Structure 1
Amino acid sequence: MSANLSQNPTETSRIYWQERAFVPLLTAADILGLSRASVYALEAEDRLTFARLAGRTLVCVESLKALINAAEPWVASDRGKEARAARVAACASDEA
């Protein structure tokens, strides 16, 4: 028996998602922190692979891992700084 399973065979939920072949679409959305619609969009962009089994839409875990591993590091943008400068300029012109 896998080390991630308890001795009770009914407790199969203890299999980590990374060790499964597929996960339900909502589980994939939860793992990614995205909406269900965003997960469908990722599949439409060929960034995730879906499978149909017993009438359920499942996400291939290998494609989910690949997507996570391809994530770019977050870098702060200057958008907020530019927006604040525009508001300050607008307020200054209103006062003049």
Structure 2
Amino acid sequence: MDNAVDRHVFYISDGTAITAEVLGHAVMSQFPVSINSITLPFVENESRARAVKDQIDAIYQQTGVRPLVFYSIVIPEIRNIILQSEGFCQDIVQALVARCRAN
């Protein structure tokens, strides 16, 4: 495999980001691409969330490829800022929580 970075992947959380990172790595291991991983824990305020959004958007502008964003963010205002980014955003926890609540 070539050493070039095929995808930038963000692991973002308003906590430690360990869950986002572990599950994101599990997903990415299914694909034959090299990745540049960026882990951003403790995104707990709007200022930090906007800086993260800007970082995601800058990578998209530089590469023309939407970064993948695996996130676990409970705070709605923070989550909404990240969702406005140019990244392909995937919430790794909420779908599971919703299914558990339904049962």
TM over 0.5: no
Which structure: larger Rg? Answer: 1
Q: Which has the higher strand share?
A: 2
Q: TM-score, normalised by structure 2?
A: 0.25
Q: TM-score, normalised by structure 1?
A: 0.27
Q: Which has the higher helix share?
A: 1
